[in-house]
Amino acid sequence: MIWLRILICSACLALAAFAQTATSDDHLYDQVRIKLAQDIQVNGGAIEVRVKDAVVTLIGKIRTEKAKSKAEKIAGKVKGVKKVVNELVVDPNAP
């Protein structure tokens, strides 16, 4: 009976750890989106953000090289982000 309790507790702890990682990525996604949208130069509405294991990937088109660099810096400053992969493409006609 004790072993069953230990097994159940272990399973619950494993599920909680997994859920915390997923929630953390969701939280990072939200925070990065908010920060990008708040910046006038970046105007992050057209930037796709993906987060996996606290690694943020930025995808899409952006108007200037300066805005591309700033978007990466903004995402990197969000607490909990481990790394930023910047796949943004500079296009002067971007929204």
Residue 24 near residue 39 (C-beta atoms within 8 A): no
Q: How many residues does the chain have?
A: 95
pLDDT top residue among 62 and 94: 62
What CATH architecture is 2-90? 2-Layer Sandwich (3.30)
Q: What is the pLDDT of residues 42-77, one digit of tens each?
A: 987 789 999 999 999 999 999 999 999 999 999 999
Residue tagged 């002067």 (tokens): 92
- Give the whole-number percent of the chain exceeding pLDDT 90: 66
- The structure's pTM equals 0.75
Give pLDDT, residue 50.
Answer: 97
Q: Where are the domains of the chain?
A: 2-90
CA 70 to chain centre: 16
Mean pLDDT, residues 69-90 taken together: 96
Q: Which of 78, 88, 21, 74 is nearest to 52 (CA)?
A: 21
